[in-house]
Amino acid sequence: MSDNNLSFLLNNNVRVVAGVSHAVAVSVDGLLLAWTEGLNRDAAERLAAVAAGLNSLLNGAARDFDAGAVRGNITDTDRGYLILTSLSRGASLLVLARRDADLAFVTGELERFAEQVGDSYLNPSFAAAAAGTR
């Protein structure tokens, strides 16, 4: 499956979730796998770096304090939310949501997206191929 398929799934999911502005999918090693249509590549790469950093910091802290795996994180900002959701194989999804977003609905949809994507797009060969495309 190509990154175009992952981008298609990501964009379709974002379109149906009110209040979500942008999203990126990132491999465990920080490679940008997919991003939503409103972002240019540079902005998507910056958001991917944020996702990878948050994912690494949170998982490191959880490991250090024997808290188990990180499933997600919500960061509350003045204008909305940064919502990090863990995917399989250490990958993550970072979503920017507006202040008016229904967080319960958004996080439920993100969980469904994570299940839909599964391992298909998150193996190392796919991540390497996706890093050089789009």
What per-residue confidence (pLDDT) applies to 117? 83
Task: Using the predicted structure, report yes or no on whether residue 127 has a pLDDT greater than 50.
Answer: no
pLDDT tens profile 84-96:
999 988 889 999 9
pLDDT of residue 134 exceeding 60 = no
CATH number, residue 84: 3.30.450.30
Confidence of residue 132 (pLDDT cuts 50, 70, 90): low
Domain count of the fold of the chain: 1
Whether 16 shows a pLDDT value over 70: the answer reads: yes
The residue type found at 125 is S
Cα–Cα distances in Å, from 121 out to 24, 42, 82, 117? Answer: 13, 22, 23, 7
Range of the domain at 107: 3-131
DSSP 122: -
**Which is it for strands 92-98 and 80-86: parallel, antiparallel or unpaired?**
antiparallel
Look up residue 16 and give its amino acid. Answer: V
Q: What is the pTM of this model?
A: 0.84
Task: Return d(Cα 113, Cα 115) in angstroms, integer.
Answer: 5
Q: Is residue 38 predicted with pLDDT exceeding 70?
A: yes
Q: How far apart are CA 86 and CA 5, in angstroms?
A: 19
